[in-house]
Amino acid sequence: METANNRSRFVKGFKRIASVHLVGLIGLIIIIGLFFAAAKCISYTGLTLMDMREFQLVEEVSDGMDQYLMPDYVNANSLAARYYLIDDMAREELVTDLAKWDVAGSAWASHIHNITAFSTDNSAITFNLPAHYTHYYIYTFPGSWSAPPPGWDAFFEGFGTSTLVKIEIDYILHRDLDALKLFFQQYNDEARIASISWHMPGKKGSNSFTTTLNIHSEAKSFRVYMQFLNMAQNEITLESLKLVNMHGYNLLLTRIENNFKKLSFTLSLSGIAEYPGFIVFKKDIDLKGRSDYQSLRFFVSVEAGELDKALLSFLEIKVFLDEALVWSMPVSEIGNPTFVEQNIEFLNSKELSEISFSVGCDPPDSATQKEIMDQGIDISIEYLDIR
């Protein structure tokens, strides 16, 4: 009886606790639900600023430009991709062709001794590839792999004058390879300072591979390695292996980070800033609650680190509403931050549909050419409002 009484009081007590907190929990869920609903409603009233998450990266370059959107090492959330704007006319063949027998026949060596290189018409180099149970290499410029190649100075005359090199390889395989990799190693006057590798196609027949790589600022020479895993007798004919200096690229987009209030990105400037090109972010305008818009407002910031901002006068930030340019300012004149309020009343006659921010440069005259090396510029566009 006593135990039953105690138990009933405990049960009563805990029922009360449960009921109170159950009511509280339901109340909490209702509050969170109301909050989400209110947030949705607010976004429809036009009381909020423009959502910066919807900006999409697009490329806009002048005629005669090549573009490369190159996935880079992604080791941080904010790093998106390296974006190169390259003037294709400015390409300069660094090495005439490492696959030409008459040019580079004696430049090739192998890791194991039973590989032979031969040529039939001097236009290409063919290697016999013996069956082997482990990886093996052929490579350019015999010598210790950890030391710079001796005695091949003619090949390296133009190397290191550009910070970007494009590698183009065409080759024919007699049969399928088990694996094929390309290595590119860079040396200064004393030792190896950088190494990078790529997987290449290893199917029977004609293959080609193109890639772009950054050149170390101290690099004076290089070696190219091809690594094979080949379980049967095979042959590879190198029809073309070119290294091309890519001059005239001017903008590298190395970071994009945006949330609902901010679009920020880092541009890395390199080379001679004489080639036109723009990096553009666009979004559709949702004009809910903003039927009588009259002005465009936002904050823009430019952080150039230790770089003298005056050097950036050739770069401009432009804002377009649809096709109409509504605001532009040289990067050198933008503070950290700068509030922009621009009258857009003249656009009232039609419905706006798109807004875009462009950063880049138009073709400058020769007097304004600047050479800037490896400078990162952080640009942020925040709190965008059309009202």
Cα–Cα distance, 160 to 169 (Å, whole number): 20
Rounded to the nearest whole angstrom, what is the least distance from the CB of residue 342 to another protein in the complex? 13
Rounded to the nearest whole angstrom, what is the least distance from the CB of residue 15 to another protein in the complex? 10
Rounded to the nearest whole angstrom, what is the least distance from the CB of residue 156 to another protein in the complex? 49
Rounded to the nearest whole angstrom, what is the least distance from the CB of residue 263 to another protein in the complex? 14
Cα–Cα distance, 216 to 192 (Å, whole number): 11
State the DSSP H helix or E strand holding residue 2, giving kind and residue range, or none if neither: helix 2-45
Rounded to the nearest whole angstrom, what is the least distance from the CB of residue 167 to another protein in the complex? 41
Backbone angles phi, psi at 364, to 5 degrees: -90, 165
Cα–Cα distance, 317 to 329 (Å, whole number): 6
Q: Which residues bind another protein (CB under 8 A)?
A: 1-2, 5-6, 9, 12-13, 16-17, 20-21, 23-28, 30-32, 35-36, 38-40, 42-43, 47-49, 51, 259-261, 297, 299, 336-339, 341, 382-383, 385
Residue 301: burial class (beta carbons within 10 Å; 0-12, 13-18, 19+): middle
Rounded to the nearest whole angstrom, what is the least distance from the CB of residue 357 to another protein in the complex? 18
Q: How many CB atoms lie within 10 A of CB 336?
A: 13
For another protein, give the closer residue by CB, 132 or 262. 262
Backbone angles phi, psi at 368, to 5 degrees: -100, 10
For another protein, give the closer residue by CB, 50 or 246. 50
For another protein, give the closer residue by CB, 111 or 261. 261
For another protein, give the closer residue by CB, 35 or 118. 35
Q: How many CB atoms lie within 10 A of CB 199?
A: 11
Check if the beta carbon of residue 373 is closer than 8 Å to that of residue 305.
no
For another protein, give the closer residue by CB, 13 or 201. 13
Cα–Cα distance, 248 to 211 (Å, whole number): 17
Rounded to the nearest whole angstrom, what is the least distance from the CB of residue 18 to another protein in the complex? 10
| b/e map 95-130, b = 16+ CB within 10 Å | bebbbbbebbeebbebbeeebebeeeeeebbbbebb
For another protein, give the closer residue by CB, 264 or 268. 264
Rounded to the nearest whole angstrom, what is the least distance from the CB of residue 5 to another protein in the complex? 4
For another protein, give the closer residue by CB, 33 or 150. 33
Residue 32 CB partners (closer than 8 Å, separation 6+): none
Please, which residues bridge with residue 302 across strands? 379
For another protein, give the closer residue by CB, 322 or 385. 385
